[in-house]
């Protein structure tokens, strides 16, 4: 073969691949045309500025000082002028007749909301309604024939899909940033009703309320929060799924407020130890730690210790998925719950009620001083308990149980029991006294894991207590 006809390096590599009987590597998928998406969707994105006038609060000392200056020096001080507080954010048009979506925290506690469109028009918006629980605000501007976004399906997103955000970080209008979906259905503290979309899209102050687009140019979320230790973007941002937001929009347009589903249970995560205690194949579902009297859950016959594994046919992997599902359920309708009770699956129908207004209750604290003799030390567990005094029942808001007064090294400590806990149930057995606790614990085989229901600082929890091996035996 002459040098002029010698195959180049790529051809040699391809020949080697076929010679070895291997298929060529697939060509990398093309990236989305972000420029086309930005060009087609930017007219639907808006900048939002909200202002509030706050007058300095008067106090007795300042009023007395002004009176002294007036009487003895003839000085008449001018009253302090109201100060103006301003916040900025982003939003997007969801209908041609002027409805705009943004975050509630962008316009919360403000007097005037201005919306600036892509053609530089600036109009005052009317707040149709807000929902602080999902951080959604619905605005209406006096304009028509507006370019509205296309609504996409967050459920079709996959982890790793490309997404694009457009907003006004730090006041820089119509800034575009891109990234991928990092996780779905992410639960955040104090955000029980939103299964957030986590991304690595750069989101900064001013992006709040702006749209998150998929590769087809459809809105799949509302950029809402970032995780940051510096106040700026650190690679973790969260968006409210657009289907959740549109359900809120429907209620805000119809009623001006949002009604949410309510069961009346407190729940906790199913750990590996609790899964073993309840006979579950894997740690999944929502463990009912407490039930409010008279609630839909109580009327349906749900019990403390039930593990909810499905809601209306949808499997629950994490406990946070239960309040998200119930919150989005229609008030007044009945839903099917699959629960595991005493290691057996069963179906319970529950009629969802409207979430009542939140009520704050003070958590009781253990009263000091013991008026009764302590029960024998459960040395196998590293635990000392005693009966509750009447004053302690009142302070702790419990009717019965046995009070933990000492925890030493052992199974109790490993399970997470702490001084001040009230043990009120072991498995399905209600504990009314220390004698009840002693009776149910006696004869339990070594290695068995028991679900222990407790009340701690006013909240119900369930712990997994593993019975230890007898002294002198290996574990």
Question: Catalytic residue numbers?
Answer: 105, 135, 208
* Beta carbons of 302 and 267 less than 8 angstroms apart: no
Distance CA 116, CA 315 (A): 44
Pairing status of strand 449-456 against strand 383-387: unpaired
Distance CA 108, CA 442 (A): 57
Distance CA 104, CA 138 (A): 8
Q: For the CA atoms of 245, 336, 281, 380, what is the dihedral angle to 10 degrees?
A: 100
Structure tokens at 201: 């899209």
Distance CA 244, CA 251 (A): 11
Distance CA 298, CA 315 (A): 22
SS in 3 state form for the chain? CCHHHCCCHHHHHHHHHHHCCCCCCCCCCCCCCHHHHHHHHHHHEEEEEEEEEECCCCCHHHHHHHHHHHHHHCCCCCCCCCEEEEEEEEEEECCCCCEEEEEHHHHCCCCEEEEECCCCCEEEEEEEEEECCCCEEEEECCCCCCCCCCECCHHHCCCCCEEEEEECHHHCCCEEEEEEEEEEEEEECCEEEEEEEEECCCCCCCCCCCEEECCCCCEEEEEEEECCCCCCCCCCEEEEEHHHHHHHHHHHHHHCCCCCEECCEEEEECCHHHHHHCCCCCCCCEEEEEECCCCHHHHHCCCCCCEEEEECCEECCCCCHHHHHHHHCCCCCEEEEEEEECCEEEEEEEECEECCCCCCCCCCCCCCCCCCCCCCCECCCCEEEEECCHHHHHHHCCCCCEEEEEECCCHHHHHCCCCCCEEEEECCEECCCHHHHHHHHCCCCCCCEEEEEEEECCEEEEEEEECCCCCCCCC
Taking phi first (over 0 means left), then psi (-120 to 50 degrees means alpha), and beta for anything else, what does residue 414 get?
Answer: alpha
């Amino acid at each position: 073969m002459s040098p002029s006809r010698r195959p180049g390096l790529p051809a040699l590599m391809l020949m080697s691949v076929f010679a070895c009987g291997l298929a060529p590597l697939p060509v990398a998928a093309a990236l989305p045309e972000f420029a086309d998406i930005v060009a087609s969707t930017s007219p639907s994105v808006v900048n939002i500025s909200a202002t509030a006038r706050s007058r300095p609060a008067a106090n007795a000392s300042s009023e007395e000082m002004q009176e002294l200056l007036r009487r003895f020096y003839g000085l008449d001080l001018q009253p302090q002028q109201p100060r103006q507080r301003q916040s900025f954010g982003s939003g997007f048009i969801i209908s041609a007749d002027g409805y705009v979506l943004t975050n509630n925290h962008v316009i919360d506690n403000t007097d005037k909301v201005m919306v600036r469109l892509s053609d530089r028009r600036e109009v005052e918006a009317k707040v149709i309604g807000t929902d602080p629980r999902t951080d959604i605000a619905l605005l209406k501007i006096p304009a028509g024939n507006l370019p509205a976004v296309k609504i996409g399906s967050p459920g079709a997103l996959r982890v790793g899909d490309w997404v694009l955000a457009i907003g006004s970080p730090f006041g820089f209008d119509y800034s575009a940033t891109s990234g991928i979906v990092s996780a779905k259905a992410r639960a955040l503290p104090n955000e029980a009703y939103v299964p957030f979309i986590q991304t690595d899209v750069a989101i900064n102050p001013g992006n709040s309320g702006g749209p998150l687009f998929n590769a087809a140019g459809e809105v799949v979320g509302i950029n809402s929060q970032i995780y940051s230790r510096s106040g700026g973007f650190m690679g973790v941002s969260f968006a409210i799924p657009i289907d959740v937001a549109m359900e809120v929009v429907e209620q805000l347009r119809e009623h001006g407020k949002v009604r949410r589903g309510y069961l009346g249970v407190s729940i906790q995560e199913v750990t590996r130890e609790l899964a073993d205690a309840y006979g579950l194949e894997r740690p999944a579902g929502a463990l009912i730690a407490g039930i409010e009297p008279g609630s839909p859950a109580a009327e349906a016959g749900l019990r403390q210790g039930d593990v909810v594994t499905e809601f209306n046919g949808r499997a629950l992997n994490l406990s946070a998925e239960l309040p998200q599902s119930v919150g989005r359920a229609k008030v007044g309708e009945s839903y099917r719950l699959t629960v595991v009770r005493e290691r057996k699956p069963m179906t319970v129908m529950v009629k969802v009620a409207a979430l009542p207004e939140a009520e704050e209750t003070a958590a009781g604290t253990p009263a000091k001083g013991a008026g009764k003799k302590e029960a024998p030390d459960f040395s196998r567990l590293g635990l000392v308990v005693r009966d509750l005094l009447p004053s302690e029942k009142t302070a702790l808001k419990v009717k019965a149980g046995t009070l933990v007064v000492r925890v030493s090294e052992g199974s109790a400590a490993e399970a997470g029991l702490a001084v001040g806990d009230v043990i009120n149930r072991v498995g399905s057995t209600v504990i009314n006294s220390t004698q009840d606790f002693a009776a149910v614990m006696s004869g339990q085989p070594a290695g068995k894991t028991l679900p222990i229901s407790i009340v701690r600082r006013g909240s119900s929890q369930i712990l997994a207590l593993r019975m230890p091996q007898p002294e002198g035996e290996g574990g």
